[in-house]
Chain A
Amino acid sequence: MRGIFTPITKIRRQVFTEIARFAYERPLVSRDFSVLDEAPYRIIPGEVPQYRESVFKERAIVRERLRLAMGLPMRPASEHQPFTRDMETACSANYQIREPLVQVIPFACESCPTDRFQVTDNCRRCLAHPCSIVCPVKAITIEKSGAVINQDLCIKCGRCVEACPYHAIIRFGRPCAEACGANAIDSDELGRAVINQDNCVACGLCMVSCPFAAISDKSEILQIVSAIREGRPVYAEIAPSFVGQFGPLAKPGQILAGILALGFRDVVEVGLGADLGSLHEADIFLERVPEKQRFLGTSCCPSWEDFARKTAPDLDACIASAHTPMVATAIHIKQQDPQARVVFIGPCVAKKREALEPDVQPYVDYVLTFEELMGMFSAHSIELTDMDELPFTDSASRDGRGYAVAGGVADAIRHTIERRHPGHAVPVMKADSLQDCRKMLLLARAGKADGHLLEGMACPGGCIGGPGTLSQINRSGKAVQAFSEKSPYRDATENPRIAASSDEAPH
């Protein structure tokens, strides 16, 4: 449930905290997982079920969530496998999570009916019954109980909804499928939701939309903490949407100090990579649009990029192929310290998938969401408001920090172009949901986007609306803006750190 703290949010965060605590406190050479055996009883205490029909089922679901949060696959419900299977393997900095990353926990899914029209008890069985009169396929009959829709006949035109004076007919579907802009929710033989991994672009919105908490993704908390405890130099690169995520009193410099207190070697703003990306994409736009390519689609949202390639392969060449800010920042870190292990910290689930791509893997070692990071703060009892504020060594520009909010990426690239070529017009098209991205691609295919800069984002509101966030979009937007205004540089062209490293930047 986006923007509302529910028991689901609580359980998800408790799971992250349990795994983080285990990761920090486990003896490094031990096969004792009893702490995790007990975790479901801490999260679901007592004998009375709180959320489902049985406390045993509640705990069974928590067990699978714990495994996923350790980066492990779920266990099949139809055959015996110990809860602790492969846990020892996962307790290593070198363990790599595998796709699928976003999954339905089958026995947690309540098999909600798929998209349908239904008559509610608002129906008065009225004399006029306009619902049945306007139906073009005679799917509505008036029975003793009131209007009844024959689901086999219904073509979902919605005329009955409009016609009913009592608002008695509603359309509803699976919240997961409604959140999914990529048509990736199918059903299994038992009517439960299952994710079509060919269509899925790992945006993670189904996960935070399921009211039964039946969808989860894999986490790398355990592997990151293992790397830290094994003494490796672990660096964090933090996405610009981080400000305001950890409570209204935690200042950016305190969040930085908190991350260092977790054992990270240093923290770099991803906004720095965003500045590099702005320069690079501005160059492509100036060189190629519209003569050599019809338009330019931005590249920083991996779900949008993935979605565009799958939905409109014919337009593939028009999406920027630059390394994303995440990768550019990781390269910057590894140039300074070749031994570095780089953790991207952001609001994003899709970045977990991007990090597994063969050309990204050498640079980005792990991905963490803000929610997962909060679990680590909690497990380590780090009180951010008690920390001394630390400065960021290399600041990103105002525009680089603005990447976090829908519209910010296009603005940054446009400003860069205008700074270099004053008066050069840059028409922009924007979409911040995959549903709208699909429409934008249709317009592009029809030639309506020629000469444009296209900003695509999967999450409503941009990255601050991502599934791994803790803060409401409005509040985050204000916090990001305030932090952006504090940057000493307006845009990428003013950032001296970028001028120095843009020659080495990957193209």
Chain B
Amino acid sequence: MNSLFSVRNMKVIKIEVCAGTHCTMLGSSDIMDAIAGLNDEGQLLCPDCQLEIVPIPCTGDCDHGRLSPIVRINGEQLNQADSATVMARIMTMAGNDGRKG
């Protein structure tokens, strides 16, 4: 039975953002700030969507910064990520990709 406090249907989007040296230098903290803003502005995401933003230590996948910043969205890895790409991916997953109809 669904109660008011049910979280059974919550759609969790987990975003892991590398907080290692190369990725931080190339803007990973700024990506975190940008997506945290999506969470704050409530209306932008579907009502039962929840963003889980986790800074993670260096993944070792960045090839000494050449592929930084590294971001994983529900396990799928994005190399040379930027805020715009990450936000667009999240918005699509949250059913609000800006396309009408």
Contacts and interface: CB of A to CB of B under 8 A. Distances in A.
Interface of A: 3-5, 9-10, 13, 17, 246-250, 374-375, 377-378, 381-386, 470-472, 475
A381 B64 contact: yes
B21 A374 contact: yes
Contact of B21 (A5, A248, A384, A475): A384
A246 B24 contact: yes
CB-CB nearest 10 A-B residue pairs: A5-B27, A5-B30, A247-B24, A247-B19, A385-B57, A249-B19, A248-B55, A374-B25, A377-B21, A378-B25
B32 to A, nearest CB: 7
Contacts of B20: 247, 383, 385
Nearest to A9: B27
B88 to A, nearest CB: 16
B21 A382 contact: yes
Interface in B1-43: 19-33
A382 to B, nearest CB: 6
Contacts of B26: 10, 13
Contacts of A248: 19, 29, 32, 55
Nearest to A385: B57
B19 A470 contact: no
Contacts of B55: 247-249
A139 B5 CA distance: 62
B21 A378 contact: yes
20 contacts: A4-B30, A5-B27, A5-B82, A10-B26, A17-B25, A17-B65, A246-B21, A247-B19, A247-B21, A248-B19, A374-B24, A378-B21, A378-B22, A378-B25, A381-B21, A381-B64, A386-B57, A470-B25, A471-B29, A472-B30
Chain B interface extent, by class: 20 to 34
Nearest to B66: A42
Contact of A383 (B21, B28, B33): B21
B83 A470 contact: no
Given A9-B27, A17-B25, A247-B19, A383 B32 contact: no
A378 B21 CA distance: 6
B86 to A, nearest CB: 12
B93 interface: no
A13 to B, nearest CB: 5
Nearest to A7: B82
A3 B31 CA distance: 11
Contacts of A5: 27, 30-31, 82-83
Contacts of A247: 19-21, 23-24, 28-29, 55
Contacts of B83: 5
A385 B58 contact: yes
A169 to B, nearest CB: 29
Contact of B57 (A249, A382, A471): A249
Contact of A386 (B22, B28, B58): B58
A255 to B, nearest CB: 11
Nearest to B30: A5
B71 to A, nearest CB: 13
Contacts of A471: 29
Given A378-B65, A386-B57, 7 more contacts: A5-B27, A10-B27, A247-B28, A249-B56, A375-B25, A381-B21, A381-B64
